[in-house]
Chain A
Amino acid sequence: MKNTFREIANTKARFFSIMAIIAIGVGFFSGIKATSPSMYNLAEHYYRDSRLMDFRLISTVGFADEDIEAVASLDGVQSVMPSYFCDVMTSADSGSDVVRVIAVPEAYEENRSLNNLTVNQGRAPKKSGEILTESIAFANSRHKIGSKIKFAPAAGDSELSDLLNKSEFTIVGKAESPLYISYQRGITNIGDGKIDEYMYITAKDFKASRYTELYVKADYSDKVSAFSDEYKEKTEAMQSSLEKLSKERESAFVTEVIPKSRADLAVARGMCTGIKNGVNAQLDSALAAIEAGEEEYESKIAEAQALLDAAQEQIDSGEAALEEGQAAYDEGISLGQQQIAQGEQQLGSAREQYDSGKAALQNEVDSQKQAMENGEDSDPSAQIKMTLTDAIGSAKLGEAILQIFSGNAQLAAGKSEFYVQSVTGQQKLFTGRMQLDAAKEQLESGKAELEEQKKNGKAELDDARAQYDSGKTQADEAFAEMEKELKSGEDGLKQLEGLTSTWYVFNRDDNPGYATYSQNADRLDAVASVFPLFFLLVAVLVCVTTMTRLIEEKRTEIATLKALGYGSGSIILKYVLYSMIAAVSGSVIGVAIGVMTLPFIIYNAYKIMFYIGDIDLIIHIPSVVIGTLAAVVCTAAVSVIVCAKSLKSKPAQAMRPKAPKPGRRILLEHITPLWKHLGFTAKLTARNLFRYKVRLCMTVIGVAGCTALIVAAFGLMNSFEPLTKEQFGEIFKYDAAVIPRKSGSAGELKYLDDLAKKTNTVSASMPALQEETTVKFGGKSTKESTYISVPSNVGDFEELVSLHTRKDKTPLTLTDDSVMINEKLASDFGISVGDTIEVSADDANAKIKVGGIYEQYIFNYVFMTPECYRSLFGKDVKYNFYEVRLCDKTDETAEKFSTEMLTDERVTAVSFMGENVDDFRNMLNSLDMVVVVMITCAAALAFVVLYNLTNINLAERQREIATFKVLGFYNRETSRYIYIENIILTILGIAAGLGLGVLLSGFIIRTVEVDNVMFGRDIYLSTFLFASGLTLLFSLLVNALMSVKIRKVSMVESLKSVE
């Protein structure tokens, strides 16, 4: 043991080189290997915690509760969550972004919610009008909690008001959704066709009557690792049962849902009618009541009026009677007065008559007396007669006086009677008047009351009428509403009847983030599978070399120990311990550093793309074990073997210096002219190189391995380049693809030409067909992402797509009797030009000759002419795709083109190749980080390996160096002696490494390549330059370090005996 440590102390540089090489090798191996599992682990936990759905179901007609029940009752379904989503655009002042609005996850009946959000700021929306924005990427900074988001009134062909209940929402929080872990947001058919961000609102704010999507979580996803093969298998099984169910539900839609809706509608209509009738009846009776009331009112009023009128009449007649009475009275009075006056007159006249009679009588009597007196009275008779006359006259007078008296009495009586009568009459009149006045008053008050009552009655009636009217209008409105709803129901039904229900079952692989994440982790794993292994191999190899040389140097010591009686075991143990200490400590340091740093460094690059938190370290135990074991076992084993070999020789023989290998003439010397011109250093170097062939090989292999690693790393980095540069620059020259709503012949799609021309942005365009196909050859068949592509016009086609071979860029031309296939497909299946492949379209299969193999990186395309298509499948091509090359590559042009095209309703979507480029570039940029790590590690390894090899070289040459120094060589000259050899070895190593690197990078690239994508196979000159430059640089650096060591070599060494 002690001996071992002394040995370590004596050969520090070598020990630490071995340790460092093993540390780098094992560290890189275990570190890279730990990255992918850590990434998977992170995603798995994230998905499990947020309860990511396993399936997403979408239907052309939405979902009803029956559908959900049917899905939920499927075997293996753990929970179902119906939800709503729609794609809308923010208003122009909010940026006109395309937003996918999703309902906040909510538990559905006993199913727990799925795709749970992580609210990072604020809170989740609780009530209508609240919205949650995404807390990642660019969208984060744009929205502030508390501010408003306004949506544009139209979203593609739909009105916003048909989709959402509100157009303005208040941001209440920011969150991450497990549905979107990457920068990808998916595509849509509004706006520029690309979703910019997602937002969450409450389900209430959606207008849709049927759920627009169903999220399904299967039982197994809690137990099975998300990215495992088991998960894939189970998902496939589940998917097919969901698809089966979909078919049932699709037909159920026709046989159940529509009739049911129809029946529902009929019931609704019946109910509506019932309600309408009931309400109408009520209204009618109300109206009747009002009318009756009015009638009654009228009649009552009339009655009252009549009564009043009668009273008036009475009063009037009373008045009249009174007037009459008054008149009669007055008349009576005047009559009485008249009578009285008459009577008085009569009396007067009677008195006058009497007076006159008396006077006459007197007169007569006088006259007669006179006559008598005068003789006249000559007639006795006249006397008698006069007496008689007198008598009679007197009698008559008496009578007249009597009469006057009686007349007087009568008059007086009459008068008094008159007075009495006049008083009573007056009294009577007075009371009559009084009565009449009272009646009048009564009448007045009656009249007033009537007026009052009339008014009240009127008001009440008016009220009732108004109530009735408003009731009526309300009822009418309600009826109209009902009618409208019925109508919309009918429309809806009609629409439903017009629709065919098609369900789409998506699984996690269709989730953009999920798919890219697993692709990335897979690719990383693929990188981690080959490269680090080779890396480890180089490290172990170099360690083995070092150990071998170390032990060979120590053969004298070994022999001495043996001679002193040490057992072989203990001698071997010393070196095994030495190597094991180096290997184990190197491995521990390597694993510690590698595992602690590499996954984080690499994942950091992925964090630009994915938002699922930070990785926790998952140590990939197998890789740690394999790495450490490889290092420890190999170095230990080589120690044992080399030691044992040394021990085999007899101690006495071994103790003597191993006879130096004889110097030998090398082939080069026979070329005398050349040899003569070589300096000693060169000759020495040349001879040295050829003398120790094994050593040469070991060194060259070590250096070559490092160079190869660098070449491979750079090669891998470069292999990404064609994916974007060549694919979307030189092969697919078109910038945009327009998807028409209906596919059709070139003639039918003529309108696209017109539309495109109108945008003034197009330089070439053509309809094309792209449809999925399966290519079969030699028992193999393609699985996915393989398409038939048919250009409508070969002339335009050349402007849009360039078919050429990869190596010499020979252009390929389509002919009617053969197809062109891409290189990846050809190399995977072993197809060469002239072979016959089987191609399918829909259900038809056809055999066709391969006319050419073209350069192509992303996906497989089988190109053929329309005539070829027709002859193969017996039908005309229905183009579904319109390729456009824009006049320039600016965003404005693209924006203009897309916006103008999408305004036409016959256009479903416009997609830009640039987006693909960005997608790929983003994905590959993260891989670049891996490559940078690879390059760094390879460079580090190269440095340590070179240092180690030079160091060994130096240790073995100490004596020669000392001699040179004694001979008076300058340090520089002495160093050169070592350098030149090193540099030649390095150059040889580089040369071999470049060759090896080509093979290695080819191998790695092929391993890393995912299905349907071909990485660049060409290795650029720059790669070679970088790799050789770096290695050479390290070599020079190491030499510089070594020259210090050379200066330190003591000349006294030269005097020592050969050990």
Chain B
Amino acid sequence: MSLVEFHNVYKRYKMGEVIINAVDGISFNVEEGEFAVVVGASGAGKTTVLNLLGGMDSVTEGEILVRGSDIGKYSDKKLIEYRRYDIGFVFQFYNLVHNLTAKENVELAAQICRDPLDSEVALDSVGLLERKDNFPAQLSGGEQQRVSIARALAKKPALLLCDEPTGALDYNTGRQILALLQETCRREKMTVVLITHNSAITPMADHIIEMKSGKIVRDEYNDHPKSVDEIEW
């Protein structure tokens, strides 16, 4: 059994008279511990997939099984708990709380978990322990994203969802972040689903899902994922 199974999932938005199929009947699996990348151009429906998987949006048709249970059938409360205990989220724009220090931002997430990682350990794992008392505004973009990752890691999620984590970062910082994510995935045996429009980073993934106009056009496994250092774009 895969950790995540998409079975013929549709997501339709009604924009006035027009119905848009943001996700048009896709099916794929994500296995435990794999580093999956959903890649596609803007508007391909990848963010929608992430939203659906993150329990932030509900499917119109089809089912999404996480550890065998259909999150589409979850109640609001169940969904919150799902997000709370199973999902870690890394945002494109970090979404840190400005008024909390790095450590506090991590603690914010940690405090709601059953068995959280110590926030200092989490920060240490992203290499920011010495900046723990800094406020987000005192940190660079990459550092903020690392805090964001630490925040996600502290929850010890079953699934780490990353929405264009490098989108707002420069090339080198982006690489560092990706390296961190890959390393985390390997070290913690954490399942990572990363969304990007940048197909250049797909070689580092275990599992590549390419989307186009709401459909999956490529769903393949990479038997020899490269490390970040090996790829360039």
Hey, which bits of chain A sit against chain B, CB under 8 A? 659-664, 679-680, 683-684, 687-688, 691, 959-960, 962-963, 965-971, 973, 1051-1052, 1054-1058
Q: Is B173 an interface residue (CB 8 A)?
A: no
Scoring B57, B89, B138 by chain A CB atoms within 10 A of each residue's CB, the highest score goes to B89
**Interface residue stretch chosen among B27-35, B36-44, B107-115, B220-228:** B107-115
Some 5 contacts from A to B, beta carbons below 8 A apart, are A680-B108, A965-B83, A967-B109, A967-B155, A1056-B93
A966 to chain B, nearest CB (A): 5
B173 to chain A, nearest CB (A): 17
Instruction: Find out whether the CB atom of B81 lies under 8 angstroms from the CB atom of A688.
Output: no
CB neighbours of A960 from chain B (8 A): 95, 97
Scoring B97, B136, B151 by chain A CB atoms within 10 A of each residue's CB, the highest score goes to B97
With A688-B99, A1055-B47 as contacts: A967 and B108 at CB distance below 8 Å: yes
* Residue in contact with B99 in the complex, picked from A691, A969, A971, CB distance below 8 Å: A691
Instruction: Find out whether the CB atom of B100 lies under 8 angstroms from the CB atom of A680.
Output: yes
Instruction: Find out whether the CB atom of B91 lies under 8 angstroms from the CB atom of A968.
Output: no
A556 to chain B, nearest CB (A): 15
How many angstroms between the C-alpha atoms of A624 and B95 in the bound complex?
Answer: 48
Question: In chain B between 95 and 125, which residues have their CB closer than 8 angstroms to a CB of chain A?
Answer: 95, 97-101, 104, 107-109, 111-112
CB neighbours of B21 from chain A (8 A): none
Chain B 155-178 interface 0/1 with A at a Cβ cutoff of 8 Å (1 = within) = 100000001000010000000000
How many angstroms between the C-alpha atoms of A959 and B155 in the bound complex?
Answer: 21
Instruction: Find out whether the CB atom of B97 lies under 8 angstroms from the CB atom of A963.
Output: yes
Instruction: Find out whether the CB atom of B138 lies under 8 angstroms from the CB atom of A662.
Output: yes
A112 to chain B, nearest CB (A): 78
Which are the 5 A-B pairs with shortest beta-carbon distances?
A968-B84, A663-B135, A968-B83, A662-B137, A687-B99
CB neighbours of A663 from chain B (8 A): 98-101, 135-138
B127 to chain A, nearest CB (A): 21
Q: Is B80 an interface residue (CB 8 A)?
A: yes
How many angstroms between the C-alpha atoms of A962 and B91 in the bound complex?
Answer: 12
A270 to chain B, nearest CB (A): 113
Nearest CB to that of A664 among chain B residues?
A: B135
With A662-B138, A968-B84 as contacts: A680 and B104 at CB distance below 8 Å: yes
* Residue in contact with B112 in the complex, picked from A662, A664, A691, A969, CB distance below 8 Å: A969
Instruction: Find out whether the CB atom of A973 lies under 8 angstroms from the CB atom of B112.
Output: yes
* Residue in contact with A967 in the complex, picked from B89, B136, B138, CB distance below 8 Å: B89
Question: In chain B between 42 and 98, which residues have their CB closer than 8 angstroms to a CB of chain A?
Answer: 47, 51, 54, 56-57, 77, 80-85, 87, 89, 91-93, 95, 97-98
With A966-B83, A968-B81 as contacts: A680 and B107 at CB distance below 8 Å: yes
How many angstroms between the C-alpha atoms of A687 and B137 in the bound complex?
Answer: 14
Nearest CB to that of A662 among chain B residues?
A: B137
Binding site of B, secondary structure by majority: helix, strand, loop or mixed? mixed
B23 to chain A, nearest CB (A): 14
CB neighbours of B168 from chain A (8 A): 1057
A75 to chain B, nearest CB (A): 81
How many angstroms between the C-alpha atoms of A1051 and B83 in the bound complex?
Answer: 12
Scoring A687, A965, A967 by chain B CB atoms within 10 A of each residue's CB, the highest score goes to A967
With A968-B80, A968-B112 as contacts: A1055 and B92 at CB distance below 8 Å: yes
Question: In chain B between 175 and 192, which residues have their CB closer than 8 angstroms to a CB of chain A?
Answer: none
A92 to chain B, nearest CB (A): 81
Instruction: Find out whether the CB atom of B97 lies under 8 angstroms from the CB atom of A1051.
Output: no
CB neighbours of A662 from chain B (8 A): 98, 135, 137-138
How many angstroms between the C-alpha atoms of A680 and B107 in the bound complex?
Answer: 8
B66 to chain A, nearest CB (A): 14
How many angstroms between the C-alpha atoms of A965 and B137 in the bound complex?
Answer: 22
Instruction: Find out whether the CB atom of A1057 lies under 8 angstroms from the CB atom of B93.
Output: yes
Nearest CB to that of A690 among chain B residues?
A: B99
Instruction: Find out whether the CB atom of B83 lies under 8 angstroms from the CB atom of A1057.
Output: no
Nearest CB to that of A1057 among chain B residues?
A: B93
Instruction: Find out whether the CB atom of B98 lies under 8 angstroms from the CB atom of A966.
Output: no
With A687-B99, A967-B83 as contacts: A1051 and B135 at CB distance below 8 Å: no
B72 to chain A, nearest CB (A): 16
CB neighbours of B112 from chain A (8 A): 967-969, 973
Instruction: Find out whether the CB atom of B95 lies under 8 angstroms from the CB atom of A963.
Output: yes
With A662-B135, A968-B83, A1052-B57 as contacts: A683 and B100 at CB distance below 8 Å: yes
* Residue in contact with A1055 in the complex, picked from B83, B84, B163, CB distance below 8 Å: B163
With A967-B112, A1058-B93 as contacts: A1051 and B56 at CB distance below 8 Å: yes
A969 to chain B, nearest CB (A): 6
A682 to chain B, nearest CB (A): 11
Instruction: Find out whether the CB atom of A684 lies under 8 angstroms from the CB atom of B97.
Output: yes
B59 to chain A, nearest CB (A): 15
CB neighbours of A965 from chain B (8 A): 56, 80, 83
A972 to chain B, nearest CB (A): 10
Nearest CB to that of B99 among chain A residues?
A: A687
Instruction: Find out whether the CB atom of A968 lies under 8 angstroms from the CB atom of B97.
Output: no
Chain B 135-158 interface 0/1 with A at a Cβ cutoff of 8 Å (1 = within) = 111100000000000010001000
* Residue in contact with B95 in the complex, picked from A659, A661, A679, A1054, CB distance below 8 Å: A1054
How many angstroms between the C-alpha atoms of A973 and B112 in the bound complex?
Answer: 10
CB neighbours of A688 from chain B (8 A): 99
Nearest CB to that of A962 among chain B residues?
A: B95
A668 to chain B, nearest CB (A): 13
How many angstroms between the C-alpha atoms of A496 and B131 in the bound complex?
Answer: 110
CB neighbours of A959 from chain B (8 A): 95
Instruction: Find out whether the CB atom of B111 lies under 8 angstroms from the CB atom of A680.
Output: yes
How many angstroms between the C-alpha atoms of A1051 and B53 in the bound complex?
Answer: 13
How many angstroms between the C-alpha atoms of A679 and B47 in the bound complex?
Answer: 33
CB neighbours of A962 from chain B (8 A): 95
Nearest CB to that of A1056 among chain B residues?
A: B93
A687 to chain B, nearest CB (A): 4
How many angstroms between the C-alpha atoms of A1058 and B108 in the bound complex?
Answer: 21
Scoring B57, B87, B95 by chain A CB atoms within 10 A of each residue's CB, the highest score goes to B95
CB neighbours of B155 from chain A (8 A): 967-968
CB neighbours of A1058 from chain B (8 A): 93
How many angstroms between the C-alpha atoms of A760 and B81 in the bound complex?
Answer: 83
Instruction: Find out whether the CB atom of B87 lies under 8 angstroms from the CB atom of A968.
Output: yes
CB neighbours of B91 from chain A (8 A): 963, 966, 1054-1055
How many angstroms between the C-alpha atoms of A662 and B139 in the bound complex?
Answer: 10
* Residue in contact with A684 in the complex, picked from B77, B87, B95, B100, CB distance below 8 Å: B100
A956 to chain B, nearest CB (A): 12
Question: In chain B between 187 and 216, which residues have their CB closer than 8 angstroms to a CB of chain A?
Answer: none
How many angstroms between the C-alpha atoms of A737 and B163 in the bound complex?
Answer: 90
How many angstroms between the C-alpha atoms of A962 and B83 in the bound complex?
Answer: 13
How many angstroms between the C-alpha atoms of A683 and B109 in the bound complex?
Answer: 14
* Residue in contact with B85 in the complex, picked from A968, A970, A1051, A1055, CB distance below 8 Å: A968
CB neighbours of B77 from chain A (8 A): 970
CB neighbours of A971 from chain B (8 A): 80
B138 to chain A, nearest CB (A): 7
Instruction: Find out whether the CB atom of B100 lies under 8 angstroms from the CB atom of A966.
Output: no
How many angstroms between the C-alpha atoms of A661 and B140 in the bound complex?
Answer: 15
How many angstroms between the C-alpha atoms of A960 and B136 in the bound complex?
Answer: 14
A981 to chain B, nearest CB (A): 11
CB neighbours of A684 from chain B (8 A): 97, 99-100
CB neighbours of B84 from chain A (8 A): 967-970
Nearest CB to that of A686 among chain B residues?
A: B99
* Residue in contact with B92 in the complex, picked from A664, A680, A1057, CB distance below 8 Å: A1057
How many angstroms between the C-alpha atoms of A759 and B93 in the bound complex?
Answer: 93
CB neighbours of B47 from chain A (8 A): 1055
How many angstroms between the C-alpha atoms of A272 and B104 in the bound complex?
Answer: 121
Instruction: Find out whether the CB atom of B93 lies under 8 angstroms from the CB atom of A966.
Output: no
Apart from the given pairs A680-B111, A967-B109, 18 other A-B contacts in the complex at a CB distance below 8 Å: A664-B135, A679-B111, A684-B97, A962-B95, A965-B83, A966-B83, A967-B89, A967-B108, A968-B80, A968-B81, A968-B84, A968-B112, A970-B80, A971-B80, A1051-B54, A1055-B47, A1055-B51, A1055-B163
CB neighbours of A1052 from chain B (8 A): 51, 56-57
How many angstroms between the C-alpha atoms of A1055 and B84 in the bound complex?
Answer: 17
CB neighbours of A679 from chain B (8 A): 111
How many angstroms between the C-alpha atoms of A1052 and B89 in the bound complex?
Answer: 12
Nearest CB to that of A691 among chain B residues?
A: B99
